[in-house]
Amino acid sequence: MITLKISLIFLICIWSLDVSVCKASEPPVAPVPDKPENSKGSPPAPGQSAGVPTIFAKQVNLNQQATYFNSLISQLKLDQMAIDLAKLTCEQRMQVKVEYTNAYSRSIEQDIDGKTKKTFMRLLYALIQPMPELMAATIDWSITQKQDFLYVSLICTTPADLLTQIANTYAAKNNKKLVDAIMQNMKDVDGQDFLSDIVNAVTGFESMVQTRPNNTISEDLIQTQVNYIPQVQGNCSEKDNPDLYKFMGGASFAQIAAVVKAFQQKTSLSAASQIRQFCNGILSEAYSRIVIFAEDPVSYWTTEVYNSMGYGKTIDRGLTVAVLYRSEIDLASIRDSFKTTYHNDLVDFIKSHCSETYEKVMENIVSGVQQ
C-alpha cells in the first residue's frame, strides 16, 4: 500500500512514497518512470516561449531513487548517477536529495565530494542544485572571473520571481548582496546602475517597476515607446534617455516585443541592431539581449547554447545552465532552431565540442532521453 505524505521542506512541496527498499547488496537498477500524459504542455501566454521542453515530470519512487543513487555512489558509478539524475525534472532531483538525506542522515553533496574531477563535479553539483542556486553560482563565476556576458544574460532575461530567488540565494551563499557584487566587479558605471536597478526592483529597493513576466500589452503606449529606441550615438543611459532606460528595465517582455515589432514596421530597422550601433558597453549588451529575448526566447537561447561552444573553447558552465534551465521550457524547440540557424545537429555539435560523461549527459537532455 502506498501512503502519500506532504511536507514543506526548503520551500518545496515534497512528495514521498513509502515502499519496499531495494537491498544494498543487489546491483542497482534504475527505476523506469511512467510516460507523461501530455508531452506538448500548455499553450504559452503572449511574450513567453512557445517552445517544447525535452524533460517532463514523470512518476518516480523517491525512496527507491535515493537507494539507487546511494548504491551508485558506493560503487563510484558517478557517471551513471549523472546520466540518471538528468532524466528527472529539477523539482524531482530536489525531492530525491531530501529523501536521500532523510534515509542516510547525510547529503548527496557530502557523499560525492572529492570523488571526481572538476568539470564533471560541476555538472554533478549542477544536477543536484535548485535552479536559483545554479544560476546564482553561474552569475558569481561570470561576473567575478569576467567571463563573457553570462551574468548579463541571466539577470536581464530571467522572470522577476526567479530573479528574486537568485538574488536571495546569492546573498545567502556569498554573504553579500548581488548588487554589491555588480558594483564591485563592473567598471562600466551605466551598466552597473542598470543591472543593479533590475535586481533592486525585484528585491524591493528600487522605484523601477518590475512587471516581468506580466504578459499584458498596453496598446496605447506602443507608439510613444517606439520613439525610445535610440537613433543617435550614446542616447541610451539613464541620464541621456531615461524613458528607454526604464522601459528596458521594467517593461514586460510582451510589451517590449510589441514595441520592437512596431519599431520595425515603422522604420524597417531592427531595434536590436539600433541598440548595438548606438549604445555603448554593458547597456548595449543588456538592452540588445532583452530585445532579442522578448522577440523570441527560443532564438535567444539557441544563440546562447551556440556561444557556449562555438568559439574554440566550450564554456561548460554556460552550456550547463542553458541546457538545464531550458530543458523544462523549450529545449526541444531550441534543438530544432539550432539546426535551422547553424546548419548543425545540436547533439552532433555537442559530441564534437564536449567529452566523456559530460557529453553523454548533455546529449541525453537535449534528445529528451528519459528511459
Digit-coded pLDDT (tens) for 230-263: 999 988 999 999 999 999 998 999 999 999 999 9
The set of cell numbers assigned to 371 is: 528511459
Quick check: do 56-128 and 212-286 share a fold? yes
For 27-36, give one letter per residue: b (16+ CB within 10 A) or e. Answer: ebebbebeee
Checking if the pLDDT of 47 tops 60, the result is no
Q: State mean pLDDT over 71-77.
A: 97
Q: Which of the four pLDDT bands, split at 50, 70 and 90, describes residue 208?
A: low
Checking if the pLDDT of 159 tops 60, the result is yes
Grid cell 538574488 is found at: 167
Residues 6 or more apart from 313 whose CB is under 8 A from it?
none
**What residue ranges do the domains of the chain occupy?**
56-128, 132-211, 212-286, 299-367
**In this predicted structure, what is the pLDDT of residue 15?**
34
Mean pLDDT of the chain: 86
Answer whether CATH 1.20.1540.10 is correct for domain 132-211. no
Lowest mean pLDDT among 39-48, 132-141, 323-332: 39-48
Q: Per residue in 165-180, pLDDT tens?
A: 999 999 999 999 999 9
* Residue 329 · residue 53 · CB < 8 Å: yes
Checking if the pLDDT of 103 tops 50, the result is yes
For the entire predicted model, the pTM comes to 0.84
Q: Per residue in 296-309, pLDDT tens?
A: 999 999 999 999 99
CA 91, 97, 101, 106 torsion-angle sign? negative
Checking if the pLDDT of 214 tops 90, the result is no
Q: Which CATH number fits domain 212-286: 1.10.220.10, 1.10.510.10, 1.20.1050.10, 3.40.50.880?
A: 1.10.220.10
Checking if the pLDDT of 30 tops 50, the result is no
**In this predicted structure, what is the pLDDT of residue 197?**
93
Q: Which of the four pLDDT bands, split at 50, 70 and 90, describes residue 85?
A: very high
Q: Topology of domain 56-128, per CATH? A: Annexin V; domain 1 (1.10.220)
Residues written for the chain: 371
Checking if the pLDDT of 283 tops 80, the result is yes
Lowest mean pLDDT among 6-20, 43-57, 112-126, 340-354: 6-20
* Residue 339 · residue 67 · CB < 8 Å: no
Grid cell 528574486 is found at: 164
**In this predicted structure, what is the pLDDT of residue 37?**
38
299-367 falls under which CATH superfamily? Annexin (1.10.220.10)
Q: Which of the four pLDDT bands, split at 50, 70 and 90, describes residue 4?
A: very low
How crowded is residue 248: how many other Cβ atoms within 10 Å of its Cβ?
A: 25
CA 150 vs CA 8, 291, 329, 341: distances in Å: 32, 16, 19, 21
Separation CA 284–CA 267 (nearest Å): 20
How many CA atoms are closer than 13 Å to the CA of 307, on its beta-carbon side? 14
Strand-pairing partners, residue 230, are none
Checking if the pLDDT of 153 tops 90, the result is yes
Cis peptide before 230 (omega within 30 of 0): no
Separation CA 172–CA 150 (nearest Å): 21
